[in-house]
């Protein structure tokens, strides 16, 4: 038997061993980061001692001594900084939620209009989209704020719709006057929404099993609208709609939205809607032409083609960038500080100027935004997993 | 029937002159008036849309045009502007050079002017693909150093003989906007590549650090980074060491831009087929070589349009330095609004700023669209 001479295994030098190399690289990196953090921390402690600052959260309980122009919960200067932060956060959420709803409606409308077969409409919308997308949001906010400030006073307010007026004092809109009798209505609304979900599910099962079922949409709408209506009717319509009316020099009734809020909302909505319009257009265009043709060949009417064939596929393309636009809108609402709407950043800025607690204050609002972002991305990943094409 | 013909009587069937163009078949192209009518008033729905659009235009355009052009004052004083009642472009004329140079000392304005010219030439060269070579990158870094030196009169703290030092507090206008965005991009580009590679690294600590950076920065508004740079970073420095305010804002901006660029590059890296990595491995290339010669050239190329789009976003975001009081173009212009001789012309100033930003961003976005076509000829149908 001949033996095959195997060359003696050469030992890899340790600097060529990928595992050891990786370990070394990561150790260096960790040490570097730790040194930087340690140095920064050390310097910060020394600097804070030198400036007579102490890190701590005690300031949150102290009276704020400043007023906040508007808020969802009452706030007086004697309230604490902690409450001020919450008022600011609620203001941020208020403009973000209203902004997201309006921007979605406007954006979807614009996106569909941009695909219109009427060139005049398509051109107009595309001109709007280009102009808005290619100028800074901050500038647009200032422009809207300046325009609102040059509007006539309440006596010559611009009527925008039934009971809606825009003047240099802001906007007046009708609002339901609150009374405890509204609680059952709210519960009825919640029950209606839950009921609509359950009904939609049952109907879908039935449709999948038997091929026939009553239409979902009217039933769901009846539940969501009908139940609260019944609750109202049962109590003999106790709630009154407060409509703004001009009396003397100013309006009475309704609720007032401050010029800052209107300018910020207008700016955010018009800006984000332009981006959403592009996303919606891209999503609809991305659905392959054959899908339209096949759906038509099956004899489906146009609305059903849109609802059953095109939209489910377009939404898969639309939803991820749409969510990031929602996040952008929320983050962009921090520009409120520039025009003086008391959002989280604005309140934090005032707090920082009064207490000198820069580190704590910035930490708080950065973490709030970070939490919102991370929650949204978590939801996004979950949703993406759900709607992703299931390949075999 | 083939009749034999004599050679000299050979008939030529080649046209000796151009024949008249054929008209398209009538069924395909209706006469122009009819086509227009069908497009705009073909169905009741279309007609309503057309009428609504015309109504909107008729409602908004004439007042705007009469304000912006017919009743506008192009040269003159504030009093003349108020008398005319229209737009006061004289105000913009008055403040134009201020919006370009800011508070930069008047007699030294040739320096920022030279910087602008150099910058414009470099941009013009960079748009030409003929010059897309490695040398261009080196040239950009050299030019940025020259621009910085010319503006401030010193490079990295070393004064340049013959140039009077000008503190960054006096910088302003277009110059600061250009510096913020171009330096931001130049520095964010390499950092972004490193972050993107780090995020896809097999090494857990490298990956964790990259993900933390990217997600943290993308999760908070730019304002919070600017606040950190303004109020917290000075605390991190050893006592006695102070970093210039503009440079701190610039660093915040770079950190911000790097995270966004990293996500663009990550998209490019994910689009590279696995075979490319395996091919590089089988050639015996190490990680650095594989990235440098095989993966990155492709990943960077396919993301060029996305890079330009991200850059447009970052360029618009430079306006946010207004909140920490740095005099970029927009802040400078807004400070001009406080001139007591020219009160009440905010709308004109904002429209002028919007016009400048629009021209810059729209040009970039058109350029990126063209590039997308040029770089992917196979995708164009």
DSSP line for A60-128: GGSB-----S--SS---TTSBHHHHHHHHHHHHHHHHHHHHHHHHHHHHHHHHHHT-S-HHHHHHHHHH
Tell me, yes or no, whether A377 lies in a domain.
yes
Pairwise CA distance, residues B172 & B44, whole Å: 55
**Residues B235, A48: contact at Cβ < 8 Å?**
yes
Q: How far apart are CA B335 and CA B353, in angstroms?
A: 13
Please tell me whether residues B129 and B228 are part of one structural domain: no
Q: Which chain B residue shows the shortest CA-CA distance from A366?
A: B220
Q: Which two tokens stand for residue B148?
A: 């910085």
A164 occurs within a structural domain? no
**Over pLDDT 70: what percentage of chain A?**
94
The confidence score (pLDDT) of residue B79 equals 86
Q: By three-state DSSP, how is residue B156 classified?
A: coil
Please say which residue of B120, B137, B165 terminates a domain: B165
pLDDT (mean) for B166-173: 86
* One domain, residues B148 and B186: no
Taking CB atoms and an 8 Å cutoff, what residues of chain B touch A135? 316, 354, 357-358, 361
How many residues comprise chain A?
Answer: 392
Query: Among residues 305-344 of chain A, which lie with CB inside 8 Å of chain B?
Result: 331-332, 334-335, 337-338
Mutate to test the interface with A, among B58, B222, B354, B357 (most CBs of A within 10 A): B354
Same domain, B93 and B132: no
In this model, does residue B109 exceed pLDDT 80?
A: yes
| CA gap A100, A272 in Å, rounded | 8
Assess whether B137 and B188 both reside in one domain. no
Q: CB–CB of A139 and B357 under 8 A? A: yes
Residue A91 clears pLDDT 90, i.e. is over it: yes
Residues of A in contact with B205 (CB under 8 A): 26, 29-30
**pTM for this entry:** 0.86
Nearest CA in chain A to B317: A136
Q: Tens digit of pLDDT for each residue in A105-124? A: 999 999 989 988 889 999 99
Local structure of B264: helix, strand or coil = helix
Average pLDDT over residues B217-221: 92
**Residue A343: partners with Cβ closer than 8 Å, 6 or more residues away:** A88, A91, A92, A95, A333, A334, A336, A337
- Residue B304 is predicted with a pLDDT of 85
Judged against a pLDDT cut of 80, whether residue A240 lies above it is answered with: no
Average pLDDT over residues A204-214: 83
Set of chain B residues whose Cβ sits within 8 Å of the Cβ of A114:
none
Average pLDDT of the residues in B291-298: 91
Contacting residues of A for B202, CB less than 8 Å apart: 22
Q: Are B53 and A118 in contact (CB < 8 Å)?
A: yes
Residue B380 pLDDT greater than 60, yes or no: no
Confidence of residue A264 (pLDDT cuts 50, 70, 90): very high
From chain A, pick out residues whose CB is under 8 angstroms from the CB of B40. Answer: 118-120
In this complex, how many residue pairs, one in chain A and one in chain B, have their CB atoms less than 8 Å apart?
A: 147
Q: What is the mean pLDDT of residues A53-76?
A: 85
Question: Which of B165, B189, B208 delimits the end of a domain?
Answer: B165
Overall domain count for chain A:
1
Contacts with B, A 356-385, CB within 8 Å:
358-359, 362, 365-366, 369-370, 373-374, 377
Contacts of A124 in chain B (CB under 8 A): 53, 56-57
Q: Write the pLDDT tens digit of every residue in B16-35.
A: 888 888 887 766 677 788 88
Closest chain B C-alpha to A246 CA, distance in angstroms = 27
For residue A244, pLDDT over 80 is answered with: no
CB contact at 8 A, B88 and B72:
yes
Ranges A30-44, A147-161, A312-326: which has the least confidence: A147-161
Within 8 A of B236 by CB-CB distance, chain A residues are 39-40, 43-44
The four Cα atoms B281, B286, B289, B290 give a dihedral, to 10 degrees, of: 30
Judged by phi (left if over 0) then psi (alpha if -120 to 50, else beta), residue B273 lies in beta
CATH number at residue B224: 1.10.3720.10
Interatomic CA distance for residues A54 and A342, integer angstroms: 27
Tell me the CATH number at A273.
Answer: 1.10.3720.10
Q: What percent of chain B has pLDDT over 70?
A: 95
Partners of residue A33 in chain B, C-beta under 8 Å: 209
* A349 falls within a domain: no
If you average pLDDT over residues A137-157, what whole number do you get? 88
Average of per-residue pLDDT across B224-230: 93
Q: Would you say residue A284 has pLDDT above 80?
A: yes
> Is the domain of B352 the same as that of B270?
yes
Q: Could you say which of B205, B223, B365 has the minimum Cβ distance to residue A337? A: B223
How many domains in chain B?
2
Supply the mean pLDDT for chain A: 86
* CA–CA min distance A101, chain B (Å): 21
Backbone angles phi, psi at A160, to 5 degrees: -100, -20
Length of chain B: 381
Residue B331 belongs to what domain range? Answer: 89-103+175-373
Same domain, B287 and B298: yes
- Please give the backbone phi and psi of residue B86, each rounded to the nearest 5 degrees, phi first: -90, -160
pLDDT, position B3: 63
Digit-coded pLDDT (tens) for B124-157: 998 888 888 888 889 998 998 889 888 888 777 7
Chain A contact probe: residue of B39, B40, B221 with most A CBs at under 10 A:
B221
pLDDT of residue A4: 65
In a domain, A90, yes or no: yes
**pLDDT of A391:** 54
- Statement to judge: residues B158 and B258 lie in one domain: no
Task: Identify whether A108 is part of a domain.
Answer: yes
pLDDT for A204 equals: 86
| Domain span holding position A319 | 81-150+259-343+354-387
Flag if A139 and B319 touch (Cβ within 8 Å).
yes
Mean pLDDT within B109-132: 90
Q: How crowded is residue B307: how many other Cβ atoms within 10 Å of its Cβ? A: 20
Looking at B139, B165, B191, the residue that finishes a domain is B165
Give me the mean pLDDT over the A2-26 stretch.
73
Of A39, A43, A370, the CB nearest to B220: A370
Give residue B381's pLDDT.
Answer: 42
Tokens of B172: 């302003």
- What pLDDT is recorded for position A21? 81
Nearest to B286 by CA among A29, A17, A27: A17
Residues B324 and B233 in one domain: yes
Interchain pair B224, A22: CB under 8 A: no
Q: What is the mean pLDDT of residues B287-306?
A: 89
- B144 with B273, same domain: the answer is no
Instruction: Say if residue B121 is in the same domain as residue B234.
Output: no
Which residue is closest to A275 within chain B, CA to CA?
B313
Contacts of A337 in chain B (CB under 8 A): 223, 323
pLDDT in tens, B47-67: 999 999 999 999 999 999 998
Has residue B6 got a pLDDT over 60?
no
Residues B135 and B148 placed together within one structural domain of the fold: yes
Mean pLDDT along residues A29-47: 91
For A:99-158, CB contacts with B below 8 A are: 116-121, 124, 130-131, 133-140, 142-143, 146-147, 150
- pLDDT top residue among B82 and B210: B210
Q: In Å, what is the CA distance from A384 to each residue of A378, B51, B81, B244?
A: 10, 42, 57, 45
For A160, the 3-state DSSP assignment is: strand
What is the pLDDT averaged over residues B287-307?
89
Judge whether A285 lies within some domain.
yes
Q: Is residue A309 part of a domain?
A: yes
B6 in helix, strand or coil?
coil
| Statement to judge: residues B249 and B143 lie in one domain | no
């Amino acid at each position: 038997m001949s033996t095959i001479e195997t060359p003696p295994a050469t030992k890899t030098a340790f600097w060529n061993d990928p595992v050891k190399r990786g370990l070394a690289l990561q150790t260096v990196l960790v040490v570097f980061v730790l040194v930087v953090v340690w140095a920064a921390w050390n310097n910060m402690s020394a600097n804070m001692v030198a400036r007579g600052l102490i890190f701590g959260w005690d300031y949150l309980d102290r009276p704020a001594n400043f007023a906040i122009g508007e808020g969802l919960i009452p706030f007086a200067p004697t309230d604490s900084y902690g409450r001020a932060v919450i008022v600011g956060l609620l203001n941020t959420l208020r403009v973000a939620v209203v902004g997201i709803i309006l921007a979605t409606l406007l954006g979807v409308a614009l996106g569909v209009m941009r695909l219109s077969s009427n060139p005049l409409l398509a051109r107009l919308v595309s001109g709007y989209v280009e102009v808005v997308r290619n100028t800074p949001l901050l500038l647009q906010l200032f422009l809207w704020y300046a325009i609102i400030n040059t509007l006539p006073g309440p006596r010559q307010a611009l009527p925008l719709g039934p009971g809606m007026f825009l003047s240099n004092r802001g906007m007046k809109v009708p609002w339901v006057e609150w009374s405890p009798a509204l609680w059952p209505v709210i519960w009825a609304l919640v029950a209606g929404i839950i009921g609509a979900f359950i009904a939609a599910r049952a109907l879908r099962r039935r449709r999948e099993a038997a091929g026939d079922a009553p239409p979902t949409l009217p039933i769901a709408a009846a539940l969501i609208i009908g139940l609260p209506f019944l609750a109202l009717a049962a109590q003999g319509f106790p709630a009154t709609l407060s409509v703004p009316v001009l009396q003397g020099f100013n309006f009475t009734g309704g609720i007032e939205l401050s010029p800052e809020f209107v300018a910020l909302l207008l700016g955010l909505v018009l800006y984000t809607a332009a981006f959403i319009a592009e996303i919606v257009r891209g999503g609809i265009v991305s659905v392959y032409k054959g899908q339209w043709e096949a759906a038509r060949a099956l004899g489906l009417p146009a609305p059903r083609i849109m609802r059953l064939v095109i939209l489910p596929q377009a939404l898969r393309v639309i939803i991820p960038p749409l969510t990031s636009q929602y996040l952008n809108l929320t983050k962009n609402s921090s520009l409120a500080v520039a025009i003086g709407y008391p959002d989280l950043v604005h309140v934090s800025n005032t707090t920082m100027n009064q207490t000198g607690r820069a580190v704590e204050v910035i930490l708080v609002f950065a973490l709030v935004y970070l939490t919102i972002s991370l929650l949204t991305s978590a939801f996004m990943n979950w949703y993406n997993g759900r709607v992703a094409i299931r390949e075999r | 029937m083939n009749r034999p013909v004599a050679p000299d009587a050979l008939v030529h069937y080649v046209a000796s002159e151009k024949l008249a163009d054929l008209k398209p078949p009538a069924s395909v192209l209706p006469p122009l008036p009819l086509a227009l009518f069908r497009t705009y008033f073909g169905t009741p729905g279309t007609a309503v849309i057309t009428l609504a659009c015309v109504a909107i235009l008729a409602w908004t355009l004439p007042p705007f045009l009469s304000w912006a052009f017919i009743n506008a004052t192009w040269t003159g004083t504030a009093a003349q502007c108020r008398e005319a009642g229209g737009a006061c472009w004289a105000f913009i004329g008055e403040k134009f050079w201020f919006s370009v140079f800011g508070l930069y000392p008047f007699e030294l304005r040739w320096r920022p002017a030279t910087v602008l010219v150099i910058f414009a030439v470099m941009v013009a060269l960079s748009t030409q693909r003929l010059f897309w070579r490695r040398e261009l990158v080196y040239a950009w870094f050299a030019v940025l150093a020259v621009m910085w030196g010319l503006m401030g009169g010193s490079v990295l703290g070393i004064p340049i003989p013959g140039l009077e030092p000008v503190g960054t507090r006096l910088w302003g206008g277009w110059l600061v906007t250009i510096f913020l965005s171009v330096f931001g991009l130049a520095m964010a580009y390499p950092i972004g590549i490193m972050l993107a590679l780090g995020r896809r690294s097999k090494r857990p600590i490298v990956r964790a650090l990259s993900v933390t950076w990217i997600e943290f920065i993308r999760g908070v508004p730019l304002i919070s980074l600017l606040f950190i740079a303004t109020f917290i970073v000075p605390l991190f420095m050893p006592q006695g060491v102070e970093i210039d305010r503009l440079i701190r804002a610039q660093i915040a901006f770079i950190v911000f831009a790097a995270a966004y660029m990293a996500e663009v590059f990550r998209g490019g890296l994910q689009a590279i087929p696995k075979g490319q990595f395996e091919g590089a491995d089988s050639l015996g290339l190490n990680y650095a070589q594989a990235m440098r010669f095989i993966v990155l050239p492709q990943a960077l190329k396919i993301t060029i349009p996305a890079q330009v789009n991200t850059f447009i976003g970052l360029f618009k975001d430079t306006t946010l330095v207004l909140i920490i009081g740095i005099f970029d173009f927009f802040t400078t212009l807004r400070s001009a609004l406080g001139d007591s001789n020219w009160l009440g012309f905010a709308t004109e100033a904002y429209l002028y700023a919007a016009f400048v930003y629009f021209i810059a961003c729209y040009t970039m976005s058109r350029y990126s669209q063209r590039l997308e076509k040029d770089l992917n000829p196979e995708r164009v149908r």
